[in-house]
Amino acid sequence: MADQLPQVLVLRPPPVFTLLETQFSQKFHFLRAWESPLPTADFLATHAASVKAVLCSGDTPITGDILRHLPSLQLIVTTSAGLNHINLPECRRRSISIASAGEIFSDDCADLAVGLLMDVLRKISAADRFIRAGLWPIRGEYRLGSKLGGKRVGIVGLGSIGLEVAKRLEAFGCIISYNSRRKKANISYPFYSNVCELAANSNALIICCALTDETCHMINKEVMKALGKEGVIINIGRGSIIDEKELVQCLVQGEIGGAGLDVFENEPDVPRELFTLDNVVLSPHVAVYTPESFSDLYDLMVGNLEAFFSNKPLLSPVLDE
């Protein structure tokens, strides 16, 4: 029966794959590279002629070397919205199609971004630690947090996630502006082509953009200084969009007001200097992880694979701009 199912290569199992393995296995025959005793290159060479589709997650690099071992490859289905783990130029050169998570994660990411911002401003996690440590009866009143309503929030990357963040923050009475690769048509928010100017005109920056060569370390010390001593940075994009060493230094030295971070440069390693800072809220790259998003993602991945093997249009194709 398995031999009759469409064949899909999996280098490492995405989280949703592990949770929904039984359902997946009823529809596709997966080549499980991570279970093979062979080195990856040898395993790929064994299946080079037959592999037309790959399923991967955001932490599985699809490098030029991997692609060279897969001459018959026609499709990459990734469980992430970001594409920085895929060698896009080589895929374009070979006309390999890519299907991403699309907008599946937009709501969940936006929810966490707003939650992190509110947590940092209102000191929710820090206040929780204060009570659990038994300090309330000893020290009395806790430090005041800051109001969310009326804050000027700069969104870096006004794609589907950024727009959902903006929609939520508008309901709180925040004033929205944004930076993006280009000004968005039919968007009334003020646009800043320079992220430093956006920071200088914001109380908080929320990072929602993709990681590319252009955005790597885009949030540098100059941007942080422009944001100022009361400013807050929230990152639900990728860790390397921020110069993490400079961020740590600015937080330790009080050059910015706080940070809410779901992503880091060298995950799962997080700078230990952040652990003792009450103006920093840390989250282990879980913005996209809810049971609802996993269920939707499973449906989307299966739909993309079924469409490919049936010669139908992909449900969430990545299109060159």
265 labelled catalytic: no
| Residue 87 backbone class (left: φ over 0; alpha: ψ -120 to 50; beta: rest) | beta
267 labelled catalytic: yes
Angle at 204 between CA 247 and CA 274, to 5 degrees: 30
Which residue out of 238, 244, 246, 265 is catalytically annotated? 238
DSSP bridge pairs for 154: 177, 205
Determine if the peptide bond prior to 291 is cis (ω within 30°). no
Which residue out of 35, 267, 273, 292 is catalytically annotated? 267
Determine if the peptide bond prior to 190 is cis (ω within 30°). no
CA distances from residue 219 to 250, 259, 271, 293 in whole angstroms, order as listed: 12, 13, 17, 29
* DSSP 8-state symbol, 34: G
Tell whether the torsion through CA atoms of 165, 180, 282 and 266 is positive or negative: positive
12 labelled catalytic: no
Do 66 and 45 form a contact (C-beta atoms < 8 A)?
A: no
Under DSSP, is residue 67 helix (H, G, I), strand (E, B) or coil?
Answer: helix
DSSP bridge pairs for 260: 234, 281
Rounded distance, CA 145 to CA 121, Å?
6
Rounded distance, CA 77 to CA 303, Å?
10
Do 211 and 187 form a contact (C-beta atoms < 8 A)?
A: no
Which residue out of 12, 68, 217, 285 is catalytically annotated? 285
Query: Tokens at residue 100, please?
Result: 């991403």
Tokens 């870096």 label which residue? 156
CA distances from residue 64 to 61, 89, 93, 240 in whole angstroms, order as listed: 9, 9, 11, 21
Catalytic residues: 238, 267, 285
